[in-house]
Structure 1
Amino acid sequence: MFQTRLHTLAAAGAFFVCWSAGAATIDVAGVPLEERVTVAGSPLVLNGAGVRYKAVFQVYTAGLYLTAKADTTEGVLSNSGPKRITVTMLRDIDAAELGKLFSRGMEDNMDRAAFSKLIPGVLRMSQIFAAHKKLNKGDTFTVDWVPGTGSVLTVRGQVEGEPFKEPAFFDALMRIWLGPKPADWQLKDALLGKARTGNRP
């Protein structure tokens, strides 16, 4: 009970909105996230952002960008335009272990037959993270879904290999956070815009 309350209080205090040069950013646990970004020439809006907790420890921030806001998993997945998920470390992380956790999160949120079709891409993603060995506090990676191109993985500002071309791969990745067994339920609500992320002045 105490741990749950502490988690909730910490999450509620993790966000506030800043304004700079006319452009808004959301501060999530000390990480500034722009409210608007451009992917493949398309303007995206920040659908939601939050913190991944492990017990009471902050692990990373995540922000979800879409062409139009959605408050359900189905709404996010059915959005036909470009999308972006951005993740910033709040502590030093073993990159190989993070890759394994993401792979497991994908597997846990889809049926076995569908997951088996994505295994080559999942293995390649795991190898990319393993090659980095460690992600330090403040390091960021993004995954952009670009229609006609695929999922583009960028780590520390560098594009990693060829895009993952299957649309199902990005959807499976989204289910890590938005599926029926999400990595963190409070983060799921935050990414879907259901959690309060601060008040504008």
Structure 2
Amino acid sequence: MRRFLQLVLMALLAVSLGASAETVEVGKVKFPTQVDVGGQRLVLSGAGIRTKAIFKVYAAALYLKTPATTTEAVLSQAGPKRIDIHMLREVDGNELGKLFTKGMEANAPRDELARSVNGILKLSELFAARKALVEGDFFSVDYVPGVGSTVLLNGKPSGIDPIKEPEFFTALMRIWLGDKPADDDLKEGLLGLKKLRRSN
């Protein structure tokens, strides 16, 4: 009987590991279909590629508790969220910080932008300190209610304190999901409007 229970547990573990190992491939980057943020399981809501001219700049993925297909649904959804970005080419750190700032300025309401200044400065300083993000570098911003937005760089703490203002994460998301998105195709991808190729 004990041997039977061991086999059942091993089978269940294998199924569980298989499910957690499922990924989608975007621009040669494999994003997991599930992640843990703030002790809660989030699912991949959408992903896509940021292109500029003919160049692929980065691949991005959005994680939510429940997939959402409109900007309003993403921004209004309660609970933890994550935006995950993987560089596909080298980008100057200062330039990336400026582009993100411009994206927020172009899309966020004035009051939301005013409350996001602290976070914008911290993110810009982080990128500037790196000088450049090269192909293969990746960073994520995790938003957890009551904690704020935590920035991870290459899977490790970035060294900056959590950005407590909830408006910052909303303004950040507007870069890609606002009325003047950085890339229309990427907006569609993050909103789950493009089919993704699954792999293991």
1:195 corresponds in structure 2 to 194
- 1:120-154 CA deviation, whole Å, 9 max, x = no partner? 22112111110011111011000000111000011
Distance 1:110 1:154, change over 3 A: same
1:56 corresponds in structure 2 to 54
User: Of the two, which has the highest radius of gyration?
Assistant: 2
Aligned to 1:176, the other structure's residue is in SS state helix
Query: Hey, what's the Cα distance between the residues in 1 that align with 2:130 and 2:198?
Result: 37
- 1:30-74 CA deviation, whole Å, 9 max, x = no partner? 100000111111000000000000011100000000000110111
Task: Quote how far apart the aligned CAs of 1:199 are.
Answer: 6.5
Aligned to 2:116, the other structure's residue is in SS state helix
The root-mean-square deviation of aligned C-alpha atoms, in Å, is: 1.7
Q: Does the CA contact (< 8 Å) of 2:38 and 2:144 recur in 1? A: yes
Q: Does 1:185 align with 2:167?
A: no
Task: Quote how far apart the aligned CAs of 1:116 are.
Answer: 2.5
Alignment of 1:38-187 (within 5 A): 38-160=36-158, 161-187=160-186
Query: Hey, what's the Cα distance between the residues in 2 that align with 1:111 and 1:66?
Result: 23
1:7 corresponds in structure 2 to none
Task: Quote how far apart the aligned CAs of 1:163 are.
Answer: 0.5
Give the total of aligned pairs.
182
TM-score (norm 1): 0.86
Q: Does the CA contact (< 8 Å) of 2:57 and 2:89 recur in 1? A: yes
Distance 1:171 1:148, change over 3 A: same
Aligned to 1:169, the other structure's residue is in SS state helix
Query: Hey, what's the Cα distance between the residues in 2 that align with 1:78 and 1:108?
Result: 20
Look up the equivalent residue of 1:162 and give its one-letter code: D
Query: Hey, what's the Cα distance between the residues in 2 that align with 1:110 and 1:51?
Result: 22
- The alignment-based identity, stated in percent, is 51
Aligned to 1:74, the other structure's residue is in SS state helix
The gaps in structure 1 that reach 5 residues or longer are 1-19
Q: Does the CA contact (< 8 Å) of 2:48 and 2:60 recur in 1? A: yes
Higher alpha-carbon deviation: 137-146 or 190-199: 190-199
Aligned to 2:181, the other structure's residue is in SS state coil
* More RCO (CA 8 Å, sep 6+): 2
Query: Hey, what's the Cα distance between the residues in 2 that align with 1:21 and 1:73?
Result: 31
Task: Quote how far apart the aligned CAs of 1:118 are.
Answer: 2.0
Q: Does the CA contact (< 8 Å) of 2:112 and 2:171 recur in 1? A: no
The gaps in structure 2 that reach 5 residues or longer are 1-16
Task: Quote how far apart the aligned CAs of 1:196 are.
Answer: 1.7
Aligned to 1:100, the other structure's residue is in SS state helix
Query: Hey, what's the Cα distance between the residues in 1 that align with 2:198 and 2:30?
Result: 15
Query: Hey, what's the Cα distance between the residues in 1 that align with 2:35 and 2:111?
Result: 35
Q: Does the CA contact (< 8 Å) of 2:84 and 2:139 recur in 1? A: yes
